[in-house]
Structure 1
Amino acid sequence: MIEIQNLVKIYESGKQKVKGVQDVSLTINDGEIFGIVGYSGAGKSTLLRCINMLEWPTSGNVKIDGVDLTSLSRQELRRARQKIGMIFQHFHLVRSKTVFDNVAFALKAAGKSKQEIRNKVDDLLEMVGLQDKRDAYPSQLSGGQKQRVGIARALANDPNVLLCDEATSALDPGTTRQILLLLKKINQELGITIVLITHEMGVVKEICDRIAVMQDGKIIECGEVYELFARPEEPLTRSFIDSVLQLELPEHLVKNRRGTLVRLQYRGEAASDTVISDMLQSFRVKGNIIHGKIEYIQNKPLGILVLELIGDESEVKRAIDFMHERTGGLEVIEHAA
Structure 2
Amino acid sequence: MIEIQNLSKIYKTKNGEVNGVDNVTLSVEKGEIYGIVGYSGAGKSSLLRCINLLERPTSGHLTVDGVDLTVLRGEPLRLARLKIGMIFQHFYLISQKTVYENIAFALKAAKVPAKERIDRVEKLLEMVGLSDKRDVYPSQLSGGQKQRVAIARALANNPKVLLCDEATSALDPTTTKSILNLLKKINQELKITIVLITHEMNVVKEICNRMAIMQEGRVVEEGAVYNIFASPKTELAKEFIASVVSYDIPETIANSCEGPLVKVTFRGKVAGEGVISDTLQQYQVKGNFLHGSIEYIQDLPLGIFVMELKGAKEEIKQALKYIEERDAQVEVLRDGV
Would you call these one fold, judging by a TM-score over 0.5?
A: yes
Per-residue deviation, 1:249: 2.4
Superposed counterparts of 1:187-336, under 5 Å:
187-334=187-334
Give the whole-Å Cα distance in 2 for the aligned partners of 1:69 and 1:235: 34
Paired amino acid for 2:314 = S
User: Secondary structure in 1 aligned to 2:325?
Assistant: helix
8 Å CA contact 1:254, 1:336 repeated in 2: no
Bigger mean CA deviation after superposition, 301-310 or 248-257: 248-257
User: Secondary structure in 2 aligned to 1:291?
Assistant: strand
2:121 maps to which residue?
Answer: 121
Q: Deviations over 1:200-237 (max 9, x none)?
A: 11101111111111111111111111111111111111
User: Secondary structure in 2 aligned to 1:333?
Assistant: strand
2:150 maps to which residue?
Answer: 150
User: Secondary structure in 1 aligned to 2:240?
Assistant: helix
Bigger mean CA deviation after superposition, 88-97 or 7-16: 7-16
Per-residue deviation, 1:70: 0.9
Going from structure 1 to structure 2, the CA distance change for 1:182 and 1:315 (only over 3 Å counts) comes to same
8 Å CA contact 1:257, 1:336 repeated in 2: yes
Bigger mean CA deviation after superposition, 11-20 or 324-333: 324-333
Per-residue deviation, 1:111: 1.5
Q: Deviations over 1:172-222 (max 9, x none)?
A: 111000000000000000000000001111101111111111111111111
Bigger mean CA deviation after superposition, 322-331 or 229-238: 322-331
Could you say what the CA RMSD is over the residues aligned between the two structures, in angstroms? 1.3
Q: Deviations over 1:122-149 (max 9, x none)?
A: 1101100001111111111111000000
Per-residue deviation, 1:239: 1.4
Paired amino acid for 1:308 = E
Give the whole-Å Cα distance in 1 for the aligned partners of 2:110 and 2:314: 74
Give the whole-Å Cα distance in 1 for the aligned partners of 2:186 and 2:319: 48
2:62 maps to which residue?
Answer: 62
User: Secondary structure in 1 aligned to 2:248?
Assistant: coil
**Which blocks of at least 5 consecutive residues in structure 2 are unaligned?**
none
Per-residue deviation, 1:278: 2.0
User: Secondary structure in 2 aligned to 1:176?
Assistant: helix
2:101 maps to which residue?
Answer: 101
8 Å CA contact 1:11, 1:17 repeated in 2: yes
Give the whole-Å Cα distance in 2 for the aligned partners of 1:313 and 1:249: 23
8 Å CA contact 1:49, 1:55 repeated in 2: yes
Give the whole-Å Cα distance in 2 for the aligned partners of 1:130 and 1:50: 31
Give the whole-Å Cα distance in 2 for the aligned partners of 1:166 and 1:252: 39
Superposed counterparts of 1:135-174, under 5 Å:
135-174=135-174
Bigger mean CA deviation after superposition, 133-142 or 239-248: 239-248
8 Å CA contact 1:19, 1:217 repeated in 2: yes
Paired amino acid for 1:255 = N
8 Å CA contact 2:265, 2:330 repeated in 1: yes
Give the whole-Å Cα distance in 1 for the aligned partners of 2:245 and 2:141: 33
User: Secondary structure in 2 aligned to 1:54?
Assistant: coil
8 Å CA contact 2:259, 2:335 repeated in 1: no
Per-residue deviation, 1:252: 4.0
User: Secondary structure in 2 aligned to 1:232?
Assistant: coil
1:81 maps to which residue?
Answer: 81
User: Secondary structure in 2 aligned to 1:277?
Assistant: helix
Give the whole-Å Cα distance in 2 for the aligned partners of 1:336 and 1:313: 9
Give the whole-Å Cα distance in 2 for the aligned partners of 1:250 and 1:325: 30
Give the whole-Å Cα distance in 2 for the aligned partners of 1:291 and 1:257: 14
Give the whole-Å Cα distance in 2 for the aligned partners of 1:49 and 1:249: 41
Give the whole-Å Cα distance in 2 for the aligned partners of 1:136 and 1:104: 14
The ranges of structure 1 where at least 4 consecutive aligned residues each deviate by more than 4 angstroms after the TM superposition are: none
Give the whole-Å Cα distance in 1 for the aligned partners of 2:331 and 2:62: 41
Aligned residues: 337
8 Å CA contact 1:36, 1:197 repeated in 2: yes
Paired amino acid for 2:150 = G
Per-residue deviation, 1:94: 0.8
Per-residue deviation, 1:160: 0.5
Give the whole-Å Cα distance in 2 for the aligned partners of 1:78 and 1:239: 40
Going from structure 1 to structure 2, the CA distance change for 1:52 and 1:336 (only over 3 Å counts) comes to farther
User: Secondary structure in 2 aligned to 1:103?
Assistant: helix
2:12 maps to which residue?
Answer: 12
1:32 maps to which residue?
Answer: 32
Per-residue deviation, 1:314: 2.7
TM-score by length of 1: 0.97
Paired amino acid for 2:283 = F
